[in-house]
Amino acid sequence: MIIWGSGGDNKDLGVVEHRNCPTCAKVQPFKLFLQYRFSHVYYIFGWVTEKKYLLACDVCRQGWELQAKEVEASLKENPIPFMKRYGWAFLVGPIAFFLLVGLLQ
């Protein structure tokens, strides 16, 4: 029996700037948020299927989506947990190894 599924999470990455909010009509702190979806096999071997970075007013939560590549270039580390990003390699790696050994035999 193979157990597989999907899930999602939201990460608050903190205040990144203060700017004029068009909804609040005054200067407010703007936070960076990450929303992502992932799939998994046996809850361990995961991979990210979708991600969005959002810049939103801390008061009214109005904002917009940012380009992922630009945001990730400015981050110190990836906020998505390692096994949700690269867990699939721990499943595919051993399978590929045994296939390679079988072909070389």
Q: Which pLDDT tens digit goes with each residue over 37-73?
A: 999 888 788 899 999 999 999 999 999 999 999 999 9
On the question of pLDDT at 10 being above 90, the answer is yes
Looking at the 3D structure of the chain, how many domains does it have? 1
Q: Which structural domain range is residue 49 located in?
A: 4-104
The answer to whether the predicted template modeling score (pTM) of the entire model surpasses 0.85 is no
In three-state form (DSSP H/G/I as H, E/B as E, the rest C), the secondary structure along 23-63 is CCCEEEEEEEEEEEEEEEECCCEEEEEEEEEEEEECCCCCE
On the question of pLDDT at 98 being above 90, the answer is no
Structure token digits, residue 92: 């595919």
